[in-house]
Every structure is written in structure tokens, then in C-alpha cells.
Amino acid sequence: MIKWIKIALRNILKNKRRSFVTLIAIAMGFAAVSLFQGYIHNTYEGLRQSAVRGEGLGHLTIYKQGWLEKGKIDPDKYMFSQEELKRISDLVEEDEDVILATPQINISGLVSNGRTSTIFLANGVIPRDDKTIKGAWAAFRPVKGEGLSEKKPYGVEMGEDLASHLDLKPGGYGVIMATTLDGQMNALDIEVAGIYDTGSSATNDKYMRVPFGFAQSLYDTEKADRVVVLLNDWKKTEATRERLEDTLSGVGIVCEIKTWNELSLFYLKVRGMFDMIFMFIFFIVFIIVIMSVVNTMGMAVLERTREIGTLRALGLKRRGVSLLFAVEGAMLGFLGTVFGIVLNVIVWAVIRAAGPTYIPPGSSSPVPLIVNLVPQSMFFLMLFLILLSLMAAILPARRAARQNVVDALGHV
């Protein structure tokens, strides 16, 4: 085998210009796919953090069975009572991978500054638990002002554009109105404790975060529509869901548990779009690599027809000839991907040093362009391209191996 690798390598070096063009094609293809993969890896990571911590979805959300389908029609029926909330929280927090289980309630209605009013959507959260869920993410989208606090039960955090429409600043006052679960109109005073950027222009003029008790007061209820669960590792999401489903159904709590990615529509859509773009780029690279290797190996077979005849005459079997060219193809793939890794690291370092930013569609503020180096993905991509080059070389190699020995020897 070493002999064939040696011959393959020397033939690659012998035809420097042609090999160089093929290696560049493979290297560029590798770098393009790998960089894009690094970019979407970072984007998925950011979107995951945004969903889990930014949107406050946690890793798992527990609803009463039927809430997602019929909760809007008859909310009172499909909300958890205080007793149920306590039982669920106690059981869930017993799980070794759970950091926190906290009740939340969504409310909506009108918010007014006394002169003008507009609609709002708000999430009723326990301030202390909300801080735990946000974690380090809070520094990425900081709240201007004091923020939610147990000390100020009527203090709310307001989306930047919503505050701007209502001309409210931290410390300003307003009123929110909504119908209670019984259908009565209710209104409560609020103080703007903080203003924050939701990250999306679609929600920045509607969203608020309010203390959990305050939201319950507005709806005149002691219930909550869900329990949000934060885990110590997002990779354990699916396994923990299965475990919690078993635990809760085992004690007769009829519920359904959704994961953060099932609930974050934005994450799903962006992921779907990026996956499609990735497949498109990958397909183009796939074609370029195949065409380059087939062309190079086709030329090599043509030029080395007499050599093939000689090797066959000396006793090399047909599969030996195929192997020889397949090794050469694999070697091209290997060297090409090694150059690709170098190119990838250079571009990665340049991006890291330059620190460019961009505003994604629907986003309210610029985000840094970050490309991750993902060694595992690079390794698998490398293996795939080597295999692809090997397969692409097999086509002309098989043709070479099938040649009549006398015809091959007589080739000029």
C-alpha cells in the first residue's frame, strides 16, 4: 500500500499545475462549506441562547394537556392551579439535571400613558427566576433602568419601541388594561422599571415583562399557564423531557412538555433556511470536487495509459490499477482538505480580528459576524471529501483497469 501511496504522491507532484488547480478547488470548497458551517454553528448557538434565555423559554415548558389547542378559548380550564404548580415544581426540581422550575403566565391587553394607548403582550415572570434564566445572556441585551424586582411588584420592563411610542422612560408611569379570566375589565398602574431590546423589530413595539404576581392580579387569577424548566445542559433536553413526562404522568398530572426548539418559531424558521442554504452550497461544492477530480484523474489515466499497460503486463490485477488511481484521488482529497483547513483558519482569524457586524432581517440591532471553528464538523467534512475524491477517481480508474493490455502498451 505504501508503494501505491508513494506513486500517487509522486504523480500528483509531477503534474504540479494540474494538481494545484484541483487542490485549490477542493481547498476552496472545503473552506466554503466549513466556514459556512462555522457561521451557522455560531448562529444556531446564538439562536438557542436567544430562545432559551432571551425569550425566556427555558429548555422545557410544561403545559396542562389541551392548553396549546384550547387554552385561548377557555384559559381557566387549562391553567395549572397553585396546588398543581407546587407539585409540579417540587417533582421537577428533584431531577438532577434541572436547575429551576418556575411558573409563568402570558397576558395581553392595552397599555396607556394617559394620552395614548396601544396593545401589549407580556410575560409574567418571577423576577428572581427570570434573572436565573437570563444568566449571562442579560449582559448581551441589557435592561436600561432597574429592571424587574420583587421589591417593586408593579414595576415592568418594556420593549424599546413600545416605550418610545408611549414616550415612557425608566421611572415613568402608565396603565395596563385587560379582561380578567371571568371577562371583567381590569386596569392596573405600572411603573416602567426598565426598557429592553427584544432583538426583533416585530416584537420590540409590543413586548413587556411583568412580575408574575402582577400578571395574576391583572387576570384576577392564582393560576399559571405553564411551568418553565431550566436545565444544566441543553443537550439533555430530550432525555429530560422523556424522564419528566414519565415522572409527572406517574403521579397523575396530565400535561404536555415542549422543548425550546419546538416553541421558538423563529429558531425553527432560521434553522430551516440555513439548512437549505447549507445544502445548496454543499451540493455546489460536491459537484465542483467531483468534476475536478474526475477531470484530473481522467487526464492522468489518458496520459499514463502506457504505464497502466506496463503495470498490467508486470502482473498488477485490474483492481490493483483501480486502487492505484483511487489512492491518487484520495490523496488529492486529503491534500486539498489540508489546504482547506489552512484556508479556513486564515479566514476565521481575519474575521475574528476584523470583528465585522451586520443587521440580520427582522433584527433591531447589529450583531457581530462570528464564525466558529468546529473541529468535529471539519473532521467529518474532511473524511467526506476524501471519500468523495476517491469515488470520483474510481470512475476513470475502472475505465483504465478495463483497458486491453496490448492496446494500453501501444498507446501514444
Partner 1 sequence: MELIEMEEIKKDYFLGETVVHALRGVDLTIDKGEFVAIWGPSGSGKTTLLNLIGTIDEASSGQLFIKGEEVKKLSDDRRTEFRNRSIGFIFQGFNLIPVLSALENVMLPLEIMGTSFSNTRKTALKRLDEVGLSDFVKHLPDKLSGGQRQRVAIARALVTNPSLVIADEPTANLDSETSHKIIELMRDLNEKEETTFIFSTHDQRLLDQVERLVRLEDGRILNGGSEK
52 or 335: CB nearest partner 1? 335
Q: Is 230 exposed, middle or buried (0-12, 13-18, 19+ CB in 10 A)?
A: buried
Of 284, 305, 236, 228, nearest to 63 by C-alpha is 228
9 or 68: CB nearest partner 1? 9
Min CB(321)–partner 1 separation in Å: 10
Min CB(294)–partner 1 separation in Å: 22
What's the first-to-final CA gap in the chain, in angstroms?
29
Position among 70, 86, 269, 306 found at the interface with partner 1 (CB under 8 A): 306
Told to check if 14 binds partner 1 by CB under 8 A, we report yes
Min CB(391)–partner 1 separation in Å: 23
Position among 161, 225, 307, 328 found at the interface with partner 1 (CB under 8 A): 307
Position among 11, 34, 102, 344 found at the interface with partner 1 (CB under 8 A): 11
**Site map (CB under 8 A) of partner 1, residues 309-328, x = contact:** xxxxxxxxxx-x--------
Cβ(110)–Cβ(119) below 8 Å: yes
Position among 7, 68, 268, 367 found at the interface with partner 1 (CB under 8 A): 7
6 or 77: CB nearest partner 1? 6
- Widest distance between CA atoms in the chain: 98
Told to check if 5 binds partner 1 by CB under 8 A, we report no
128 or 317: CB nearest partner 1? 317
Size of the site for partner 1 (CB under 8 A): 23
11 or 240: CB nearest partner 1? 11
The number of beta carbons lying within 10 Å of the beta carbon of residue 359 is 11
**Site map (CB under 8 A) of partner 1, residues 367-406, x = contact:** -------------------------------------xxx
Min CB(326)–partner 1 separation in Å: 17
**Site map (CB under 8 A) of partner 1, residues 147-176, x = contact:** ------------------------------
76 or 407: CB nearest partner 1? 407
Q: What's the CA gap between 107 and 84, in Å, rounded?
A: 20
Min CB(1)–partner 1 separation in Å: 10
311 or 386: CB nearest partner 1? 311
Q: In sequence order, which residues have a C-beta less than 8 Å from that of residue 346 and are 6 or more positions away?
A: none
Min CB(404)–partner 1 separation in Å: 8
Position among 10, 128, 269, 352 found at the interface with partner 1 (CB under 8 A): 10
Of 87, 85, 8, 93, nearest to 320 by C-alpha is 8
| Interface stretch with partner 1, choices 30-38, 186-194, 230-238, 306-314 (CB under 8 A) | 306-314
Cβ(297)–Cβ(325) below 8 Å: yes
Min CB(302)–partner 1 separation in Å: 15
7 or 373: CB nearest partner 1? 7
Q: What's the CA gap between 299 and 68, in Å, rounded?
A: 62
Min CB(6)–partner 1 separation in Å: 8
188 or 300: CB nearest partner 1? 300
Of 145, 164, 154, nearest to 187 by C-alpha is 154
| Interface stretch with partner 1, choices 32-40, 41-49, 117-125, 307-315 (CB under 8 A) | 307-315
Amino acid found at 389: S
Enumerate binding residues for partner 1 (CB under 8 A): 3, 6-7, 10-11, 14, 306-307, 309-318, 320, 404-406, 409
